[in-house]
Structure 1
Amino acid sequence: MLQKTNRLTLVEQVAHQLEALIESGNWEVGKRIPPEPELMEQLAVSRNTLREAIRALTHAGLLTTRQGDGTYVSASSALGPMLQKRISRTDALETLEVRQALEREAAYLAAQRRSEQDLLDMRRCLEERQAAIHDRNDEGYAYWDVRFHMAVVAAAGNRLLQDLYSHITEGMRAAVLEVYGLNNSDYFEHTHELLYQAIADQHAEKAVEAVQLYINESKKHL
């Protein structure tokens, strides 16, 4: 619920309120925010104050203004754009080392906490991934590979871990396409099946071992 503000650091107060709506999910990523007159009335601020607050959130990467179409939510938190910029300047090995840290922990937790729906989600990703391999579909292979890892992270049941992981997925997709590709799919298919089975069997240590297997193989292709 938006609240009227006082006059102290007015732009910052407005920006904080709008940011809270984004982070809480009330304003979803990809959706257009309410028009200026509506926000001005709810916040009891001038057009200039509102525009300065929106400009600050745009600079932070949370909002995007489209000429003639309004302003849209582009990220759920300021952390996302910051990490994306950092990852774009990071070499493949450093990104893979971050993946190793996050995916080992995610696999361990997923083996303990996974639901039957989590297993169904993972299995579907593996099946779609295999179909893409059969069809020699690079884009589909990369897409479902990343979706499988995201499903494992989701099964870990840790929202912060899931948020952090989601910000490296674009870099992962590019790596699957450019570095690993379909030519190395057989080995990764085997290790991903090992990971799935370990999670299904709720064997946390084996799940971590499976992650380490495909991480080690990935490093060989850098």
Structure 2
Amino acid sequence: MSGSSSLSQLPRRSLVDCAIDAMREKIESGAWPVGERIPKETELAEMLQVGRNTVREAIRVLSHADVLEVRQGDGTYVRFELDPAAVMRRVTRSSLRDHFELRVILETEAARLAAQHRTARDIRKLEKTLKARGEWAEGSDLDRFLKADTAFHLAVAEATHNEALIELYRYFLVAARQAGRAVMEEHGLPEPGYAAHERIFRAIEQGDGARAARAASAVVRPLVHAFSDHTGNSD
């Protein structure tokens, strides 16, 4: 069977995590294609040099993530090549410049679509979350502020009524909040203020997609430039 060659011995940090990583590598590399049955538990335990309980737990985690499918009496099959949770962990670990470049794309298009599809209910929610966000004041509760800030941006995404974009943005919020904290605490950069966010809201309220996109870009793009330098080191 494809992929049955021995894998290198796993480091002893967390055996389940290591088994999951090794199995993901086999799937993402194509060694275990979608639709193919993976080796049995006993074979996997020997390949990974771990116990069968460890293998069973790794399979359970990957099955829960819909990467694997366990068919009783038949075996375990590859269902998807990518684990969304693993992808988002990589996004979270990306450089701040990469993060904000991605945010420019998401925020501008979300604002443009929101202006086109917003409802009266969306406008009320946007106004409420904008007021709750307010203006950052030195010494305020940073966690509370970042939560309110991401609530406003999520409301923009929800006003698009594009379920794919909304779900992607919900996944992205964890990384967005961590990046916001890094900007303010570690790098001392100013948080884009209330007025800049109000311009996004007003453009969406008035149904002006082009102006909404420009306003959203104006909030995030300066942060892209802040983490770009002549050496190319953006961390």
Pair in the same fold by TM > 0.5: yes
Structure 2 residue ranges without an equivalent (≥5): 1-54, 67-81, 228-235
Which whole-Å CA distance do the structure 1 matches of 2:200 and 2:152 have between them?
Answer: 11
The counterpart of 1:193, out of the listed 192, 198, 201, is: 198
The counterpart of 1:171, out of the listed 137, 157, 175, is: 175
Q: Which is richer in helix?
A: 1
TM-score normalised by L of structure 1 = 0.62
**Which residue of structure 2 aligns with residue 62 of structure 1?**
65
Q: Secondary structure at the match of 1:157?
A: coil
Q: Secondary structure at the match of 2:134?
A: helix
Q: Say if 2:155 is the partner of 1:180.
A: no
Q: CA deviation at 1:201?
A: 0.5
* 1:60–1:184 Cα change, 3 Å: farther
Indicate if the aligned counterparts of 1:83 and 1:167 stay in contact, CA closer than 8 A. Answer: no
**Which residue of structure 1 aligns with residue 123 of structure 2?**
119
Q: Secondary structure at the match of 2:98?
A: helix
**Identical positions, percent:** 23
* C-alpha RMSD of matched pairs (Å): 2.8
* 1:218–1:183 Cα change, 3 Å: closer
Which whole-Å CA distance do the structure 2 matches of 1:95 and 1:183 have between them?
Answer: 15
Which whole-Å CA distance do the structure 2 matches of 1:204 and 1:122 have between them?
Answer: 15
Which whole-Å CA distance do the structure 2 matches of 1:192 and 1:158 have between them?
Answer: 21
Q: CA deviation at 1:150?
A: 0.7
Indicate if the aligned counterparts of 1:179 and 1:221 stay in contact, CA closer than 8 A. Answer: no
Larger Rg over CA atoms:
2
Q: CA deviation at 1:219?
A: 2.3
Q: CA deviation at 1:124?
A: 1.6
Q: CA deviation at 1:151?
A: 0.6
Which whole-Å CA distance do the structure 2 matches of 1:168 and 1:144 have between them?
Answer: 15
Which whole-Å CA distance do the structure 2 matches of 1:113 and 1:88 have between them?
Answer: 30
Structure 1 residue ranges without an equivalent (≥5): 1-50, 64-77
Which whole-Å CA distance do the structure 2 matches of 1:61 and 1:84 have between them?
Answer: 16
Runs of 4 or more above 6 Å deviation: none
TM-score normalised by L of structure 2 = 0.59
Which whole-Å CA distance do the structure 2 matches of 1:218 and 1:211 have between them?
Answer: 12
Q: CA deviation at 1:184?
A: 2.1
Indicate if the aligned counterparts of 1:180 and 1:221 stay in contact, CA closer than 8 A. Answer: no
